[in-house]
A = this chain, B = another copy of it.
Amino acid sequence: MRIQDQVKEHFKFKVVHQDKNSGARAGVITTPHGDIPTPVFMPVGTHGAIKALQMKEMEEMDVKVLLSNTYHLHLTPGSDLVAKAGGLHKWMGWDRPILTDSGGFQVFSLQKKSIKEEGAEFRDQDGKTVLLTPETSIGIQQNLGSDIMMAFDECIPYPATRPYVKDSIDRTHRWLDRCINAWTNPKQALFGIIQGSEFDDYRKECLDELIARDLPGYAIGGVSVGEGPDVMEKVVKYTAPLMPKDKPRYVMGVGNPEDLFMLWEHGVDMSDCIIPTKFARGGTLFTNRGKIRIKHRNYRRDFYPVEPNCSCYGCQNLTRSYIKHLFDSNEILGAILATAHNIAFYKSLADRAREAILEDRYLDFKQEFLAQYLKEGHG
């Protein structure tokens, strides 16, 4: 039996409800490590750890899935070690679903790399030459044991010429066949990635190539690479509705709350981004009334919670004044509380969106949320 058919026993997706007034949909992804209600936002744990957050807290917040990075774990500590430790889930103490990227995005964001038919060559932190190929990427991801693996692709920089894009996507398709050949574990789903930059015809061409290979899920890649919100929306608005309805639709590396609403509206089920965790460490906190910069002097005597409607530990027990003080005093606890809050906020946002979809009021919810979120403009 083809691996694409074997995987169907372990990995399923079901649309639970299609919003009547938009492309938004609510679904459930079933994986060997549990179910993921969608739409879902995936926090990023680059080095096999969400920065400043413990896995027990992720569980307490009922986060269902996280993303970890093939590229970083390949360099340190190496996926052989993680395999010896019993796989990434066991090693990091997280028994819920994990998605791993392919390393493509990280490699292609390096200054010094060379792209060959064989794969992508770059220098690691010690100056040693490393070759990442479709086979090594899948090998690493199988060592890690993630529930969802991503195909090794070229993340095309923006802007790119049509000839560059055509060459790149052709190679990415050849790489995809090598990824599929290297894929041996039917408990891990392989997602294909749609590239094509801003060109509708190339996006369509990529998608058709992916569909022909009958993969368990499909992703839009090559967005959030400097093209700006308008081009991003144009690409998503064109591509997402063409993607098979019965497979999860994932947009990689997005984004702000306003971006997430755009994705969901066009029927995207999954996304990931470092924004909530990275912003947290810098003191930017998300609230229903916009972002706040907690270090600002206004919060010195502000004895209200960061977001009164948030269920995170900090919002239930502590004030803006105290969290500002932690940042002022360079206390690690500031980053810890801010990270937990932002992750809780993103989790709640996706949950609220799902509820709205189930009740056919997604567009109303989007409008209400954004009206309040964008109005105050604290950020």
Contact = CB atoms under 8 A, between A and B. Distances in A.
A329 B48 CA distance: 10
B300 A77 contact: yes
6 contacts: A51-B332, A52-B336, A54-B333, A81-B301, A84-B301, A91-B321
A321 B93 contact: no
B56 A321 contact: no
Contact of A76 (B77, B318, B322, B325): B325
Contacts of A326: 47, 49
Given A85-B319, A93-B318, A325 B47 contact: yes
Interface residues on chain A, size class: 35 or more
B76 A333 contact: no
A335 B92 CA distance: 15
A158 interface: no
Contact of A52 (B86, B319, B332): B332
A370 to B, nearest CB: 32
A51 B331 contact: yes
A33 to B, nearest CB: 16
A303 interface: yes
Contacts of A328: 76-77
Given A56-B313, A333-B53, A322 B47 contact: no
Given A51-B333, A72-B329, 13 more contacts: A49-B331, A52-B336, A54-B333, A54-B336, A76-B328, A77-B300, A77-B325, A84-B301, A91-B321, A91-B322, A92-B318, A92-B322, A93-B318
Contacts of A47: 325-326, 329, 331
A285 interface: no
Nearest to A95: B317
Interface string A31-70: 0000000000000000111111111100000000000000
Contacts of A77: 300, 321, 325, 328
A53 B335 CA distance: 11
B91 A319 contact: yes
B335 A332 contact: yes
A149 interface: no
B301 A333 contact: no
A332 B332 contact: yes
Nearest to A325: B77
A337 interface: yes
B336 A81 contact: no
A85 B332 CA distance: 21
Most chain B CB neighbours (cut-off 10 Å) among A51, A54, A55: A54
Interface in A62-118: 72, 76-77, 81, 84-86, 91-93
A90 to B, nearest CB: 9
A81 B333 CA distance: 20
A42 to B, nearest CB: 18
Contacts of A84: 301, 303
Contacts of A333: 49-54
B303 A85 contact: yes
A300 B81 contact: yes
Interface in A291-330: 300-301, 303, 313, 317-319, 321-322, 325-326, 328-329
A91 B303 CA distance: 9
